[in-house]
Amino acid sequence: MNCERDPLLPGPHPNEKTSTTIHHRPRRNGFTKYAAVVTILTISLLTYAVLIKAPTSPNDNTPNNPQPTIYPGETIPWTPCGAIADRSLECANLTVPMDHFANPPTSIAYPSSKTFTIALVRLRSRNPTASTRNLLINPGGPGGSGTGLVFKRGALVADIVGDGFHVLGFDPRGVNASSPRVTCFPDDEARQRLSAGIRAKKVVEDSGELFAWMGPHVKGCAEVAGEHAEYVNTPQTAADMNWILDGVGQKGMVYWGFSYGTILGQTYATMFPERAERVIVDGVANQFDWYGSRLDREMWTDTDRVLEGFVEECLRAGKGDCALADLAGSKEELLEVVVKGVEKLKDEPVGVYVNSTVYGVLDYWAVWHSGVFPGLYKSATWRDLADNLAALFQGNATPAYLAYGLKKAWEDEAEPFQFISNNDGVAGPEYWPSDRLGLVEELVPFFNESKFGDAILDAYFSKQIWSIPHTHEYVPERGVKTAHPVLILTTSWDPVCPVVSAQSANDAFEDSRIVEVKGYGHCSISLPSACVAKHVRNFLYDGKLPDEHVTCEADGNPYFSKPEEKSAWISAEAVSEEDSRIRLAQHELAKDFWPGIRRGF
């Protein structure tokens, strides 16, 4: 199917009118009906966490003291918090019940300790009307910040979807600027001190220390997060999304979720099918495995195939564009050069000195799991990856050390990941071997299924001993009929969310359709494609879906292309100004590392 010659932006189509009709009843799975009252805090979020005092008079509405605005049909007071690419940003906080599924649900009638506050950031359309709808987005994780995504990349998403939507990012409960923020440490100093030196790189050699440390760590998670800990899960977040919709006066969900955001999107569409009007899941994870399997084997289906694609495209590009191409004559030989060259660091890590403030050791884990593995997500970064590896193999470890080896501060995004994934799925001693050796015996063959299988070793030790109780009864279903069929986006070879997982979502939702972009990368945004952009717009504006599974070509040369080649492709005379804007947005997103790579301890 060739979509490239047609205009990307559909003709003028009136946006669907918003509605204040509220439907809060979860569809299935034993959830109880929860309150339908939306109450909003008047305190707004300014650039992640700055609280703005509410004005006391109209004269207080100055650039330094902006007055919150409540738009017709909405109940959320929004405060201006900047602008990006000629679009205004506005921020707010929304209070939601701690437990939507209690009987009766905890609500704002309870003390503040029984609620969560959800941080919101909205990038407004350049040409808003009363019927302009809100597109909710989630960048993945779990633990990724939707507000951060809007601040950093919201304008690019807006260029792809057009001016018919406001782009609304939110931090899921427990994450980033939402509060309380779930954490396992009382402060950053304790985080650094208590986690320093914990090794989680070798499943056998490090298992003793990791197993011993994880028990106290999980106790710390439960103690520090308190009563909110057990309510940080995906079904509760899905229910929060209805409160966001109600606050902006919108009946139908318009959503684009990436990576873990597809778990959230599938969960929402199953729980609230009558409100799922324009749901896009991009880079799909298997929700049946997420909620019901101990080991996510499907995740690694195509990971090694993407690594093979990296060396294949390197040889195709040649030594002028891929620095590794000189080191071997065939795909098999070059793959061996890469794998064995990095594995050499297991026994012989390299010392690197840049200056008196920058020096250290480059080891296998840093190159393989912080360099090669993340590189598989975004083929636009393959030229740099090849440069760094070639220099390393030829005796210069400095570029690889600067790119992958510098010690980073403890990333507290790992903590929301723990809470959400463990609270969602099969976690706790009743599901896992109780002893260290039993756990190791189960993990070793699983990790051996992929060259990257041990990337999140610590996550399984956390699952094994997780003691925080489950507070949801959600079970994924097949054959769910949504208000409008779901659009499923995927690449042909995704390193962590393979096509087979997209097919699982296709089976779960009636009349859903898959649009596949041919190539390597995580989520459709990793590969610029006018064809994909056209399908996204047709779906969002008109609800149009292809008649069957469609494969789109990637545009330009997504692998090892020169910067000037990409610039020429973006500004080609044959395309309109609007198409060039979409191309530029896709190009920028393709080289950006989100959805993010989940880091371990």
Distance in angstroms (rounded) separating the CA atoms of residues 77 and 308: 51
Report the domain count for the chain: 2
The neighbour count for residue 12, using CB atoms within 10 Å, is: 7
Can you give the pTM of this predicted structure? 0.88
Using DSSP bridges, classify how beta strands 45-46 and 50-51 pair: parallel, antiparallel or unpaired.
antiparallel
- Domain match, 390 and 307 both: yes
- Cβ-contact 536, 508 below 8 angstroms: no
Burial 36-60 (b: 16+ CB within 10 A, else e): eebebbebbbbebeeebeeeeeeee
| Position 341 in a domain | yes
The neighbour count for residue 168, using CB atoms within 10 Å, is: 27
- Domain match, 401 and 455 both: no
pLDDT at 591: 85
| Position 59 in a domain | no
- Domain match, 361 and 447 both: no
- Domain match, 307 and 367 both: yes
pLDDT at 22: 37
Distance in angstroms (rounded) separating the CA atoms of residues 241 and 264: 10
Partners of residue 346 on adjacent β-strands: none
Distance in angstroms (rounded) separating the CA atoms of residues 443 and 454: 9
pLDDT at 110: 62
The residue behind tokens 């520090």 is 224
pLDDT at 179: 96
pLDDT at 104: 74
| Position 204 in a domain | yes
Residue numbers in the chain where pLDDT is lower than 50: 1-60, 409-410, 598-601
- Domain match, 433 and 393 both: no
Partners of residue 550 on adjacent β-strands: 515
- Cβ-contact 172, 238 below 8 angstroms: no
In whole angstroms, how large is the CA radius of gyration of the chain?
Answer: 24
| Position 266 in a domain | no
The domain in which residue 395 lies consists of: 303-405
- Domain match, 353 and 395 both: yes
Distance in angstroms (rounded) separating the CA atoms of residues 6 and 250: 31
pLDDT at 199: 80
The residue behind tokens 């950006």 is 592
Distance in angstroms (rounded) separating the CA atoms of residues 521 and 371: 15
| Position 96 in a domain | no
